[in-house]
Structure 1
C-alpha cells in the first residue's frame, strides 16, 4: 500500500513537470501583434532583466499563484527559461482560468531586444 502511494505521488510530480500542457504550442512572437495577447515572462528577475521583452509582464514562476490576477484578461503567451518552467506556469495559469495559447523558450534569442 505504501509503495503504491509513493508511486502515485512520484507519477503526479513527473506529470506536472515533464508532460506538456495540451493546447499550448510554441509561438513565434514576431508573428503576433502586441495588442491581441499578454506576454508573461516567468523567468527569474535576473534572467528577465538581462534580456527584457517590451510590454511583457515580469512575473516569476514563484509569484504566479499570488499575483495571477494582475495579468490582463487576454490570451497569454508564456516566456520561460526551460520546458519545466513552461509546463508549471501553464498549469498554474490554466488552473486559474487564464487562457494560455503558447510559449517561447529563452534559448530562442532571435526575438529578444
Structure 2
C-alpha cells in the first residue's frame, strides 16, 4: 500500500511540476520579437485560426509531438494565451531539441497580426 501511495504521489507531483512550475525561459514583449525568430503559436485552433498570420506556425500544445517537423529551423519564440499554455509548449519543444529563446502571452481574443509586427 505504501508503494502505491508513493507512486501515485510521484505521478501527481510530476504532473503539477510539468504544468505549473515556470520554465527557465524569459517572457518577452511583442516589441522584442522580430522576423529573425520563428514564432510558434500554441493556442487552441479556435483562437489562433481567427486570422491567417504570416511567418507564424500555429500548432496547439496537444499537436506539437505530431507536427513538430513543420517548424522551421531557427530560434523559437512561443506564443500562448496564458502562462500554463506557454510552459507546456516550451517544455515540449525543448524536449524535442528546439532552441526556445522565450515566450509571449497574447490575449485569446487578439489577432496575432494586431499584436506582432514581424517586418
Partner of 1:97, secondary structure, is coil
**Aligned equivalent of 2:11:** 9
CA distance 1:83–1:55, shift in 2 (3 Å): same
Alpha-carbon distance in 1 for matches of 2:56, 2:12 = 34
Q: CA deviation at 1:46?
A: 1.2
- Highest Rg: 1 or 2? 2
**Aligned equivalent of 2:44:** 44
RMSD: 2.0
CA distance 1:105–1:51, shift in 2 (3 Å): farther
List gaps (5 residues or longer) in structure 2. 115-119
With the length of structure 1 as denominator, give the TM-score of the two structures: 0.87
List gaps (5 residues or longer) in structure 1. none
Q: How many residues are paired up?
A: 111
**Aligned equivalent of 1:28:** 29
